[in-house]
Chains A and B, each alone.
Chain A
C-alpha cells in the first residue's frame, strides 16, 4: 500500500524518537563513565566509601580524595571532552573535511605554543604548583595561538583553495612549526619553568581547580548554544556551500564565526589540560554512525561521546600501571590515530577527496 502523508509524518517522528534515544543512551554511558572515573584510583576506596563521601559522609580522608582529587578530575575530563568534541564536529562541517579537528589541523599545537609562551613569560604560581600563575592570561594566550592557526587554515582553504587532504597536510606543517616554536621557548626558559611546560604538554586532567572547571563549562555552554542555534545551517552546508547560500545561509560569516568559537573552546581545553589529541576526530565519527550527519543530534551526541571517551581514557591511564598516571595525551593518541587512518583510507576508496 502506498504510504500517505500521515504515515510519512509518523514515520519521521518515530525516526526522530530513535535518534533522541541514541542521545539518551550516550548520556547514560557518560554518567556511568563518570561513576567509574570517581570510583577508580589508587587510594583503594570501595564504591560504598565513594558514595558515602559524595553524599557528605565517610571519613574526612575519603571526602578529601573524592572532592578534591577525583571529582575535579572527572569534571575536567567532561568539560575538555565537550569542548574538543564539539569543536571537532563543527570544524568538520564548516571546512567540509571529515579529517578536521583541533589536533589534526594544528589548532591544539598553536594553542599549546601560546600557553607555553605565557607560562614561560608569566612563571608558575607560588608554592611549586604545576599550574600557571595567571590561568586567565594563559587561556587568552592559548586562544591567540589557536586563532592564529585557525586564520592560517581558513586562508589556505579559502584563498589557496586547498583540498581536504591538502588541508590536513598543511595542519601537519603548522603543528611541526608550533612544536618547534614551543621547543624554542623552552630552550630559553629556566629549569623549573621548562619542567612545568614539559609536564604540561603531556596533557593532564589533574591540575585544573574548580575555578578553571567553571570557566571551561561556561565556555562549553556558550559554544553549545552558538553551535546548536546554527544546527540547520550546518545541515544545509552538508549539501555544499552553493546550496547553503541559496537557502539563505551566510556561509562566509558562519564559517568565520564557527571557527572562532571552535578555536576558543579548543584553546581553553588545551590551556587547562594540555595537548589532548584526536578526541575532536574520534567522537563525531563514532556518533555519525548512529545519527548520520544531522547536526541536531550530532552536536550534543559528539559532546557526550567525547566526554565519555576522555573519561574512559583517563581511567585507563590510571589503572594500567598504578599508582602511576600515564599522560592522557598519549592514551587518546593511541585510540585516535587508527580512526584517523581508517577515515583516510575509506575516503580514498570512495573518492570523496576533491
Chain B
C-alpha cells in the first residue's frame, strides 16, 4: 500500500513541478501515471525513487515513511525500472544478482543466488544468463531490469516509461509480466505510461496529472473524453471492447477541438 500525501517539488530557483500531489494505491494494484509532457510524471517517480528530494510531503509504504529511510532500507522497499535497459558489460546473471545489493554484507550468499536463478526462470531468461547485458534486445533488457527488481524483494515497484523503446509484442509482454507479478507478490506498482490503451489494458488504478497537480485519480472510469481533453488537450472517444475500455483519439491536422 502506497500513500502519497501532499508532495511538493520545485527545482532550486525554478518553477513548481509538483504541487500538493496526494494519492494512494492498494497493495497488488498497478497505478498508471498519465499526463502530457511536463505534467510532472517523471518528477513524481524521481521523488518516490529518492533520486529527487521533495520540499514537502510524505510517501508512506505500508505506513513507513519512504523519504525518512536510510539508503539501504529504501532500496529494500522500492525497486526502479528505467526507460532504457542499461547496456553494461556485465552478464545477465550478475545484473540480476545486483538486485540483492541492498542485502549485501561481504559477498552474495547461496540464498541470493537461488533467488536470482528463480527470478531468471520466472521471466524466461535462463538461456540468456551468461550473455552480456549489452547484447540483449530492448525487450530482453527490460525483463532483466524486472528480474533485478524482483530479487530486490521490494514492496513498491516504480517503472518509468518501461515500454517506450520496445516493439509492440515486447510492450504487451513486459506490461503483462508487471501486472502478473504485482498480483502474485502483492506488490504495489507505479507506472509512467504514454500509451493510454496500454494503461487501460494492464493497470487497475489511474492518476492523471495536469500542470503538476492531480487532475483525477481512481479506477478506469476516470479516463473519460473530458479528462483526456483537459489533460492532453485533444478530443477522443472512449469505447468498451470486450470489457476493456479503448481510447480512440479523433485528431485533425488543424489541431485539437
Residues of A within 8 A of B (CB): 2-5, 7-9, 11-12, 15, 232-233, 235-236, 238-240, 242-243, 245-250, 288, 292-294
Contacts and interface: CB of A to CB of B under 8 A. Distances in A.
Contact of B113 (A4, A9, A236, A294): A9
A235 B94 contact: yes
Interface of B: 49-51, 71-72, 74-76, 78-80, 82, 86, 88-91, 93-95, 98-99, 101-102, 104, 113-114, 117-118, 120-121, 126-127, 129-130, 132, 152
B130 A293 contact: no
Contact of A246 (B75, B117, B129, B132): B75
Contact of B129 (A8, A250, A292): A8
Contact of A15 (B89, B91, B114): B91
Contacts, number: 97
Contact of A248 (B71, B89, B95): B71
B80 A250 contact: no
B102 A247 contact: yes
Contacts of B88: 238-239, 293
Contacts of A15: 91, 93, 130
A195 to B, nearest CB: 46
Given A239-B95, A292-B91, A7 B71 contact: no
Contacts of A11: 129-130
A246 B126 contact: no
B87 to A, nearest CB: 9
Nearest to B120: A8
Nearest to B102: A248
A247 B79 CA distance: 7
Nearest to B79: A246
B86 A240 contact: yes
A98 to B, nearest CB: 11
Contacts of B102: 247-248
Given A246-B49, A246-B75, A247-B98, A8 B93 contact: yes
6 contacts: A2-B127, A4-B126, A9-B117, A239-B86, A245-B49, A294-B89
B231 to A, nearest CB: 27
Given A232-B104, A242-B49, A249-B101, A5 B90 contact: no
Contacts of B91: 12, 15, 292, 294
A236 B148 CA distance: 11
B121 A247 contact: no
A248 B51 CA distance: 11
A238 B120 contact: no
Contacts of B76: 248
Contact of B75 (A3, A238, A247, A288): A247
A242 B82 contact: yes
Contacts of B49: 242, 245-246
Contacts of A294: 89-91, 94
Contacts of A288: 89
Contact of B90 (A3, A245, A292): A292
B190 to A, nearest CB: 13
B127 A293 contact: no
Nearest to A3: B126
A5 B25 CA distance: 34
A235 B86 CA distance: 12
B129 A12 contact: yes
A243 B82 contact: yes
* Across the A-B interface, the 8 shortest Cβ-Cβ residue pairs: A248-B75, A238-B88, A239-B86, A246-B80, A293-B89, A248-B102, A292-B89, A5-B117
B236 to A, nearest CB: 33
Given A235-B94, A238-B88, A242-B80, A247 B152 contact: yes
Given A238-B86, A240-B86, A246-B79, 16 more contacts: A3-B126, A12-B129, A15-B91, A15-B130, A232-B104, A235-B90, A243-B80, A246-B75, A247-B75, A248-B75, A248-B101, A292-B89, A293-B88, A293-B89, A294-B89, A294-B91
B110 to A, nearest CB: 9
Contacts of A12: 91, 93, 113, 129-130
